[in-house]
């Protein structure tokens, strides 16, 4: 499939968070520090996202009530896909990745998900909520919406989640086995999901769950830059502005945003 | 004029800031801490804004380009007024108060503006920009959009602004004359504009301009609670999330939001 | 009744907190900053708590399981009282005040409670927990353990709590009516309960619930220093070290500790 | 005596600090935030210190070794005085006030010292050091370098210092008796010494000794603005940049600097 | 020797700190963030320390006066060892490792100490104190309480300490030679001592001595996880809550605690 | 050429900063934390800079007006060189490196510049200022003041700067190609310029431009320690104290200062 552009969609949803809310407010804070004059708008490989008209703002998603939020997300993702656009989603807790993938995967095309996180998010349910931000990849894998799920940064596997990972054939790159940036052999279309807490809290204090022993910002950037498979969508989730200090974590999101945008634009047709 | 409801409008505009941007990102951060379970939704006088259906979310304003932003703000404010709603505006730098007042004052009805700020914002222009966040009240008074302008918290008057204040007959309550909450004799319809930096930076670190020697949160609350004139609109501006620490200033905005909402709802007709 | 000494008891309990835990860890952090050499150990009226041997460390309370914690607190408080000591309790969430008062009031002597807080803590139950940190004064007043309950700093009354306050005849000094330190006419024996969030978050960021518009540290100190009734016990609750910045709120606790200790020692018999 | 100008002298000395060093680095940090474009350069009464050529930079004082530092300070202060200039000193720990006053008072003219501080700094010696930052006013009063010493903000008097205060006839305005800005009846020439920790730590976190229950920034400004006696010199001491957060306390110093400069310039002869 | 369980002992001692106190308050803050619901209780290799009944709380150590503190620590450590338990010690400054090792090594069994630190802590004495937190490993090696001392993270060797290291045959892995996690050839029983300032201050701001250029949290975790020798005891020292920001460093301690507990439990007999 | 000593010069200049000022205040804050007793004064390779009399304080540079500042810097650098001293410059924004190099290179001797930075600083001009802190290396290379320019840490190359880098033959080690500390083949005399934002903001929050994905402190130290070519001068620029938190970034500067001083002293003649 060919794509013409990248739609940037803000998703202000955090009601599926188990510990602290806050990630619903992320999108405009990220957009603001991206454009505040502190840095230029070039990605590290030289794509100037300030000039590339194929990067298009799709606004902030809205929904009439919590019960229909997942439907709205799914439908919007599907509409973006059907219009020949890729999706770059900003904000929200990690629960939104499930309806996003459903929307992008209406035909269940082959798909690899590259997932950065401290947590595997494979719980069958948490606190009675099967749509908790701790569960999205259990749902995705149950519905066979992806062929491969590759997780990087994981450092909180307990027995239940380890079993879930085995059951679904998840390729878990645990931090305890980290030996520098791994060579990930990824061929087909890829979706990238970045939970900010994949990073060590030193790099990203503005998250709801501080889990020490995580990745450096550079680790994520290196993996993204080594990817040569086509990327069809991406999300940046779990940034919590009300836990941030002086906008430091917002700037990390802005950096990731620039690099993801450049990656998504790489194989879009020239406009 | 009678009102039926209060429309809460988010205005993500900070391109008229002279020193640091950031206030465009304020609205969702304020909304988030308001609803994160840390506090209940009752105002101090007992209005439960979580239950009052007359308080209505008018979403986040958008505009096609910077040049038309002020027009969009003005027209939206006018539309809200014509629909019989009051306006409560969240976010943005202080430049937005000018188009807001233009929209609400299409008939130039008698109006008192109660303005909390460290700065008088009466510059004729700043850095060549007559729409700078340092200028809105010069524009408002030039166009005679208000009969009275009452300023509280002021502590940065220089010669030019002092002349402007005299020229426009502004009633300036300078901090250097502060002797506790003043008795403000306000009769007619009132618009309230709260710039977060009216507060001392100890209470509101998340602003672009730290100006020590300011108000306590309680000072503003007391003035609001003593007001018995009808309030037709209000704004909370200049909160800068990327300068905040652990969401402290966001929570101040949320507190002001609850009290302003209760004040605005006071004389709306029962639905 | 006469007292010989003051027992300082640490109570590491925060499982009745509704939003965030953390206050269980408060006692040693307070003790540490009190003695770290930054300040001397004299209260403002000149009592040197570093030299007064009547101030005695009663250690940190322990309990076999959560179900028996309240019993342990009550019995320990009773034992301290029966040994002719006053009680000064450090740490914990506000739920502990109920068993503390039960222990001190086994004979239901006349008692006035002077309670500093942002919240009235009069909920009949919260989230199904009748022992929540939002409920202790409902329990105390139901059991008629105090003749008067005087609350200072209150700024979150909703309908339910307002009804509870009326039902129990609580004397609520709401912040919205604050006009400087009030003259409190207190005669009989007094128990003082200080929830750190009575203070504005500017003065005490290290609490679980940021509620702007609160007291200054000096306001609490002034009320304490004007008290001439005998004080039989006191607690400092809801300090949350894991929300603190550079130990600032710990130092506020240490200051309150010194002043409370001096007050409690005032009418203890000379040793 | 008549004065023509005000010399601003930076004094980078903190080796007499008892707990933490850091105040030696204060002067350029204060100067920097004063001029960083966040605020204008007018004092609250309208003196534009950016334009008044009578305010002159005297640079940063230097000395060959610690033993001669006090001599250098004294001589420089004397030289400034003899040249017909007033002195405004920035930075350093509080020990420097003693040699500054010695230099300004070579003729032991009548002098009132208005001293803002949490601590009386009247120790005869501290940790064996008679020049400790806890001792300057003991030295000054012993040598009868001032007729009156008026202290505001004091909240750490212990027995020794209370005796010293009585011995020297110090007029101590303790915080525990604070009832709003006091009317200070000051006639003759005045020297103003501001220790940043006179302020509550909420307003000035960047100090070596956090002592809760202090003044608001506005309290100091009000006292300064009500002063109508001639001011011959002033210092701002004990700001510790390495304890500051985001430059907040530096901005407080900058505000005090502007107001002190305006006060000092008030009765200088027009140039 | 065989072990049945692991005793977790809190040691609130910081009077041997040379620069700042604070580490005495560490234990409950660590315990609190460990259990606050932000993270699960599984170690990275899958040991659920929330369920393993062999991990037992030995409470907080107490002593009658400073002079006897080291004796109390030593005796308690010896008692734990004699009861067939391993020791996991939380809190305190680094001076406590000396009496801990003395207690565990009453028979001077072969022992390797794996020591993470920015500083070698090999001073013969510091500021006249031979029990300073800068000296414990000089004492340990003088008394031949360990066969090997392996230090990781070291970056402050001066001439004296370099001589001491040579004298005692310490195997110092200096940071300046760091080339990724080293292969440490450790056979016999091991004691692990983790000074939080082994970490770079970016990862652990809540320590008394910020020494840049340190380890990442993952570096320590990797070394622990590669260890296959039996571990007989461990300590986590020098966490200073009053220097922490929002509990970030407490969470690092909690992470290390989980991994050390899992390591210690590895070869305890099944209960 | 032979050198006898190292002159440490403070340069308080930040008027060429494009986004935020503040770096002018850096020098004394760095000096203060270096000497505050938290750490010893030995470099990691054992040079005690507290005892080496060849390290000499050259004070803080001053200039009559902004127009002549660059001239003053250049002349002072030249004078230091001609006196047989090396230069170690502290503070300022990056624009100062151009006049420093001009002063040191009056004979255009062969020179390699080793430059650590997030940004290449090769703009032909920025915002109309050819002396902007974004331009120094364009000026240096245009005037052929160096034979080689080696940049490490770069992660913000846009098209213009990439062209400039090619035009000048700059050896850019981009972060996106980072694979651990690179082997830099450097022979001749070297000048080292360290912009603090070469570091990831996790390690150095106190800078004007947060650019995630940067170096660790250890990376810079390793490169410095592997250098065996003679070093003739160095600077540490762009530390902004008014953005720092608790002096953390100041301590990073102090660490770099110690290592650079040791490196510069290495081949100075014994005094």
Q: At residue C65, does pLDDT exceed 90?
A: yes
D64 touches B at CB < 8 Å: no
Q: Which residue of D has its CA nearest to F11?
A: D28
More confident residue, B83 or C246: B83
Identify which of B50, B73, B77, B74 has the alpha carbon closest to the alpha carbon of residue B62: B73
Judging contacts by C-beta atoms under 8 Å, the chain B residues touching residue D221 are: 175-176, 213
- Compute the distance between CA of residue B201 and CA of residue B213 in angstroms, rounded to an integer: 8
- Compute the distance between CA of residue F157 and CA of residue B8 in angstroms, rounded to an integer: 42
β partners of residue F112: F148, F190
Write down the pLDDT at residue F108. 87
The contacts of residue D37 (CB under 8 Å, 6+ apart) are: B18, B19, F21
Label the pairing between strands C231-237 and C190-195: parallel
Mean of pLDDT values over E193-203: 98
The verdict on a CB contact (< 8 Å) between A210 and E251 is yes
C163 touches B at CB < 8 Å: no
| Regions of chain A short of the pLDDT cut 50 | none
Mean of pLDDT values over E94-100: 98
Mean of pLDDT values over F195-201: 98
Domain positions in chain C: 5-265
Inter-CA distances, C130 with C16, C114, C123, C143, C159, Å: 9, 22, 8, 14, 18
Strand order in the sheet with A5-10: A55-60, A5-10, A85-90, A231-237, A190-195, A112-116, A148-154, A171-174
C64 touches D at CB < 8 Å: no
Return the SS3 of B149.
Answer: strand
- Euclidean distance between the first and final Cα of chain E, in Å? 16
C92 touches E at CB < 8 Å: no
Judging contacts by C-beta atoms under 8 Å, the chain C residues touching residue E244 are: 241-242, 244, 246
Judging contacts by C-beta atoms under 8 Å, the chain E residues touching residue F216 are: 200, 202, 216
Inter-CA distances, F2 with F107, F189, F226, F264, F267, Å: 15, 11, 22, 12, 8
Judging contacts by C-beta atoms under 8 Å, the chain B residues touching residue D202 are: 202
C247 touches E at CB < 8 Å: yes
pLDDT tens, position by position, F122-140: 999 999 999 999 999 999 9
Q: How far is C181 from chain E (nearest CA, A)?
A: 31
β partners of residue C193: C115, C235
| Chains touching C, CB cut-off 8 Å, 3+ pairs | B, D, E
Judging contacts by C-beta atoms under 8 Å, the chain F residues touching residue E19 are: 37-38
Judging contacts by C-beta atoms under 8 Å, the chain E residues touching residue C27 are: 28
The verdict on a CB contact (< 8 Å) between E25 and C32 is yes
C158 touches D at CB < 8 Å: no
| Chains touching E, CB cut-off 8 Å, 3+ pairs | A, C, F
E270 pLDDT band, cuts 50/70/90, is low
pLDDT tens, position by position, F74-121: 999 999 999 999 999 999 999 999 999 999 998 889 999 999 999 999
E strands, chain C, in order: 5-10, 55-60, 85-90, 112-116, 148-154, 171-174, 190-195, 231-237
Model confidence pTM above 0.80: yes
Judging contacts by C-beta atoms under 8 Å, the chain A residues touching residue F208 are: 38
Q: DSSP secondary structure string, E118-176?
A: SS----S-BTTBTTSTT-HHHHHHHTT--SEEEEEEE----HHHHHHHHHHT-EEEEGG
Judging contacts by C-beta atoms under 8 Å, the chain E residues touching residue F42 are: 156-159
| Regions of chain D short of the pLDDT cut 50 | none
pLDDT tens, position by position, E65-90: 999 999 999 999 999 999 999 999 99
- Compute the distance between CA of residue F164 and CA of residue F150 in angstroms, rounded to an integer: 14
Alpha helices (H) along B35-65: none
Strand order in the sheet with C112-116: C55-60, C5-10, C85-90, C231-237, C190-195, C112-116, C148-154, C171-174
Identify which of C37, C51, C48 has the alpha carbon closest to the alpha carbon of residue D161: C48
**Tokens standing for C181?**
């330190």
Identify which of C33, C155, C23, C171 has the alpha carbon closest to the alpha carbon of residue C89: C23
Q: Which candidate from D22, D27, D62 shows the least CB-CB separation from F36? A: D22
In the block, tokens 């974590």 appear at: A249
DSSP D13: -
| Chain mean pLDDT for chain B | 95
Which own/partner contact pairs does F31-35 have at CB distance under 8 Å and 24+ positions apart? F31/D24, F31/D25, F31/F90, F32/D14, F32/D21, F32/D22, F32/D24, F32/D25, F32/D241, F32/D242, F32/F250, F33/D22, F33/D242, F33/F247, F33/F250, F33/F251, F33/F253, F33/F254, F34/F254, F34/F257, F34/F258, F35/D21
Q: Which candidate from C155, C200, C202 shows the least CB-CB separation from B44? A: C155
Interface test with E, best of C208, C241, C250 (most E CBs within 10 A): C241
Helix/strand/coil percent split, chain C, to 5: 35, 20, 45
The verdict on a CB contact (< 8 Å) between D201 and C248 is yes
C50 touches D at CB < 8 Å: no
Task: State the CB neighbour count (10 A cutoff) for residue E29.
Answer: 33
Identify which of D214, D213, D218, D256 has the alpha carbon closest to the alpha carbon of residue D237: D256
B10 pLDDT band, cuts 50/70/90, is very high
F27 touches D at CB < 8 Å: yes
Give chain F's length. 271
Q: Which candidate from E40, E48, E251 shows the least CB-CB separation from A212? A: E251
Write down the pLDDT at residue D270. 63
Strand order in the sheet with E148-154: E55-60, E5-10, E85-90, E231-237, E190-195, E112-116, E148-154, E171-174
Query: E40 phi and psi, to 5 degrees?
Result: -85, 175
The verdict on a CB contact (< 8 Å) between D21 and F27 is no
Q: How far is E36 from chain A (nearest CA, A)?
A: 9
Q: At residue F195, does pLDDT exceed 80?
A: yes
D244 touches F at CB < 8 Å: yes
F178 touches A at CB < 8 Å: yes
In the block, tokens 């213009």 appear at: F160
E40 touches A at CB < 8 Å: yes
Judging contacts by C-beta atoms under 8 Å, the chain E residues touching residue C15 are: none
Q: Which residue of E has its CA nearest to C34?
A: E22
Q: Which candidate from B12, B25, B28 shows the least CB-CB separation from A24? A: B28
Q: How far is D131 from chain B (nearest CA, A)?
A: 32
- Euclidean distance between the first and final Cα of chain A, in Å? 16
CATH of domain F5-265: 3.40.800.10
| Chains touching F, CB cut-off 8 Å, 3+ pairs | A, D, E
Judging contacts by C-beta atoms under 8 Å, the chain F residues touching residue E216 are: 216
pLDDT tens, position by position, F36-69: 989 999 999 999 999 999 999 999 999 999 999 9
The verdict on a CB contact (< 8 Å) between F44 and E243 is no
Judging contacts by C-beta atoms under 8 Å, the chain D residues touching residue C255 are: 211-213
Interface test with E, best of F48, F194, F252, F258 (most E CBs within 10 A): F252
Interface test with D, best of C29, C47, C203, C224 (most D CBs within 10 A): C203
| Chains touching A, CB cut-off 8 Å, 3+ pairs | B, E, F
Write down the pLDDT at residue F103. 98
The contacts of residue C5 (CB under 8 Å, 6+ apart) are: C54, C55, C56, C84, C85, C86, C268, C271
The verdict on a CB contact (< 8 Å) between A205 and E42 is no
Identify which of C263, C93, C269 has the alpha carbon closest to the alpha carbon of residue C191: C263
β partners of residue A37: none
F117 touches D at CB < 8 Å: no
Identify which of B179, E152, E111 has the alpha carbon closest to the alpha carbon of residue D180: B179
Judging contacts by C-beta atoms under 8 Å, the chain A residues touching residue F212 are: 203, 217, 251-252, 255
pLDDT tens, position by position, C27-56: 999 999 999 989 999 999 999 999 999 999
Judging contacts by C-beta atoms under 8 Å, the chain F residues touching residue A245 are: 245
- Compute the distance between CA of residue C14 and CA of residue F89 in angstroms, rounded to an integer: 52
The verdict on a CB contact (< 8 Å) between B24 and A32 is yes
**Tokens standing for C267?**
């009418």
Judging contacts by C-beta atoms under 8 Å, the chain B residues touching residue A239 are: none
B270 pLDDT band, cuts 50/70/90, is low
C268 pLDDT band, cuts 50/70/90, is very high
Q: At residue F19, does pLDDT exceed 90?
A: no
Q: Are A229 and A188 in contact (CB under 8 A)?
A: yes
Mean of pLDDT values over F227-255: 96
Helix/strand/coil percent split, chain D, to 5: 35, 20, 45
B244 pLDDT band, cuts 50/70/90, is very high
H or E segment and range at residue B195:
strand B190-195
H or E segment and range at residue F73:
helix F66-82
Identify which of B163, B248, B258 has the alpha carbon closest to the alpha carbon of residue B220: B258
Return the SS3 of F7.
Answer: strand
E182 touches A at CB < 8 Å: no
**Tokens standing for A13?**
């949803």
A242 touches B at CB < 8 Å: yes
| C to D CB pairs, distance under 8 Å | 72
- Compute the distance between CA of residue A76 and CA of residue A88 in angstroms, rounded to an integer: 12
């Amino acid at each position: 499939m060919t794509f013409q552009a990248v739609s940037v969609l803000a998703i202000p949803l955090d009601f599926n968070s188990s510990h602290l809310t806050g990630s619903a407010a992320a999108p405009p804070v990220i957009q603001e520090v991206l454009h505040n004059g502190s840095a230029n708008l070039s990605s590290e490989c030289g794509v100037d996202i300030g000039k590339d008209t194929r990067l298009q703002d799709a606004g902030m998603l809205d929904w009439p009530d919590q019960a229909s939020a997942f439907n709205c997300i799914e439908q919007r993702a599907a509409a973006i896909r059907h219009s020949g656009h890729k999706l770059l989603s900003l904000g929200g807790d990690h629960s939104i990745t499930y309806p996003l993938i459903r929307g992008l995967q209406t035909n269940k095309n082959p798909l690899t998900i590259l997932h950065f996180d401290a947590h595997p998010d494979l719980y069958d349910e948490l606190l009675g909520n099967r749509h908790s931000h701790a569960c999205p990849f259990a749902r995705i894998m149950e519905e066979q919406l992806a062929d491969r799920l590759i997780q990087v940064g994981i450092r909180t596997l307990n027995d239940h989640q380890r079993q879930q990972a085995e059951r679904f054939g998840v390729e878990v790159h645990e931090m305890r086995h980290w030996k520098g940036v791994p060579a990930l052999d990824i061929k087909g279309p890829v979706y990238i999901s970045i939970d900010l807490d994949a990073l060590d809290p030193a790099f990203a204090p503005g998250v709801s769950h501080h889990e020490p022993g995580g990745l450096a910002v550079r680790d994520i950037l290196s993996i993204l830059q080594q990817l040569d498979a086509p990327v069809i969508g991406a999300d940046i989730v779990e940034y919590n502005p009300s836990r941030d200090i002086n906008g430091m974590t917002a700037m990390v999101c802005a950096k990731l945003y620039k690099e993801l945008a450049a990656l998504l634009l790489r194989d879009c047709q020239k406009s």
